[in-house]
Structure 1
Amino acid sequence: MSDLATGARCLGKGQGWVARNGRWYGFGLIPAAIALVLYLAALVALGVYAGDIAQWATPFADDWGAAWRTALRVSVGVVLFAGGLLLAVLTFTAVTLLIGDPFYEKLSEKVEEDEGGCPAGPDRPLWRELWTSACDSLYVLMWALVFAIPLFLLGFVPFVGQTVVPVVGLCVSGFFLTVELASVAMQRRGLPVRERMRVLRRRKALVLGFGVPLAAAFLVPFVAVLLMPGAVAGATLLARDVLGEGTRPRPAPGAGTAAPGPYGPATAPYGPQVAAPHGPGGPGGRPGPYA
């Protein structure tokens, strides 16, 4: 199966998982609904005042003919709102994950338990987890803006701005959306944000197969809220695939063998020397790269 199809399959499996686990689905809706209300209020305010902002930003057009002045300011208002919408798409997941950190952490853990094993996360207080998540999200947003700002400006170019730019913008949004969602599972393994992005860049097709259809769906009002719990579940499955873990069968009762660790007995993604996701741990083990 191609990476594109595998990414889409992870997205579908995540939505299927929450559909089978209705209690966890309702649990995951709460932070997404809160974030949606905040974003809708901001976008409505931007839409109401876009004309005033466009007029303030184009004082040089005051002496133009009425038709040209109106055309310019309407165009500026539309671009401003489109930019606000793009920014909303890029940041919605980060804000929702920040609001719902404890919710989505528990949901992701449950998905991993069902898949054959959940690594123990770092023992840190909640405030520090939230601070780390906020800093990581700002880092991802910074890189997203590196791509989004040029695309925003290219949106003014005739034909290109109406054809190529939306497609590229959707791919950019899908990639960074996946980075944010996969962070829930990857942060549990102690991977710093730069390493997460490096690992996901190696599997761009997989990431785009997951992120592009999700980013497109998130453009539809209210759909982001409905899909968010399944998106977290699917990104957890994607993270396991990227890190070489996948789904492992549990040992049969009474088999007398210990259950495999979070990276498996001999197929850890960073080599068999990693005895535990955090710290040296395990007989004869050496500290892993993120110890």
Structure 2
Amino acid sequence: MTDLVAGIAGLWRGQRWVARHPRWWVFGMVPALVALVLIGAALAALFWWLGDLVDWATPFAAHWSPGWQRSFRDLVTVLTAAGALLLGVVAFTGLTLAIGQPFYERLVREVAPPPGAPEVGILDSLVGGFRVALRAAGCGVGLFLLGCVPVVGQVLAPVLGVLVSGYFLTVELTGMAFELHGVPATERLRGRRALAVGFGAPLVLAFLVPLATVVLMPGAVAGAALLATGLSTAERPHPTRG
């Protein structure tokens, strides 16, 4: 519970930082707005054709009774839409960081300057984001199967979806700062899942409100930089005195 609260506090610290530096906040919203338009267009196209896609993907249900057929396909439609939203949240963050990579790297260095850190390339950001998206997609399949369980699954799947998405959002947002501090991917947020969920879950819920994520993204990057820097500093071995 302590880590969960600390994650929420970390997100709040980032929002306060950009509130005190409005220039960074305004420019930081531009990449997020571009990414929102692209992801929004992709999701809108998916939802427009979702009914036809579900009918095409479930031909075995064509011979069921009308009531069972409609109920099953409605359930598949809802679960597919929820999975698309989960993946869309993660993809939005990755795309935003890739589009605004030079700017966000400067923002991270401004918030919490790492000593002697190399530059992070756009290709590195894209590859990192793609890996996180693949992991999120794998979790999305598991949540889809869980959602097929009557009653229990339909309650647990949305809740777990928010928590899982929040974790992967934090993984993406802290990736640049960890990279600048030279922390290997396998060491980042290890054993700190509650901290990651506390930081990212509010952003997932904000994604459901139009333009809210665009407004919060600069502060999320700043908060993630502070979070990653704090963890990197705490875990860095101190030199012994002779």
**TM-score, normalized by the shorter chain, greater than 0.5:** yes
Distance 2:232 2:49 in 1: 46
Which residue does the alignment assign to 2:117? 121
Asked whether the equivalents of residues 146 and 154 of structure 2 are also in contact (C-alpha less than 8 Å), the reply is no
1:48-197 equivalences under 5 Å are 48-112=48-112, 117-123=113-119, 129-196=121-188
Residues 159/65 of structure 1: CA separation in 2 closer, same or farther (3 Å cut)? closer
Which residue does the alignment assign to 2:200? 211
Displacement after TM superposition at 1:77 (Å): 2.3
Asked whether the equivalents of residues 31 and 99 of structure 2 are also in contact (C-alpha less than 8 Å), the reply is yes
Bigger radius of gyration among the two: 1
Distance 2:219 2:162 in 1: 20
**Matched letter for residue 136 of structure 1:** G
Which residue does the alignment assign to 2:229? 240
State the identity as a percent. Answer: 49
Distance 1:81 1:22 in 2: 36
Distance 1:205 1:138 in 2: 23
Secondary structure (helix, strand or coil) at the match of 1:243 reads helix
1:62-117 C-alpha deviation (Å, 9 max, x unpaired): 334444333333332222222211111222211111111111111111112xxxx4
Asked whether the equivalents of residues 31 and 100 of structure 2 are also in contact (C-alpha less than 8 Å), the reply is yes
Structure 2, unaligned stretches of length 5 or more? none
Which residue does the alignment assign to 2:33? 33
Which residue does the alignment assign to 2:220? 231
Which has the larger share of helix?
A: 2
Secondary structure (helix, strand or coil) at the match of 1:190 reads coil
TM-score when scaled to structure 1? 0.76
Displacement after TM superposition at 1:123 (Å): 4.9
Distance 1:162 1:78 in 2: 10
1:165-212 C-alpha deviation (Å, 9 max, x unpaired): 22222221111111110112111122232332xxx0222232222122
Asked whether the equivalents of residues 89 and 219 of structure 1 are also in contact (C-alpha less than 8 Å), the reply is no
Aligned residue pairs total: 240
Which residue of the other structure, out of 228, 236, 240, is the alignment partner of 1:269?
Answer: 236
Residues 206/142 of structure 1: CA separation in 2 closer, same or farther (3 Å cut)? same
Structure 1, unaligned stretches of length 5 or more? 246-267, 274-291
Distance 1:236 1:85 in 2: 25
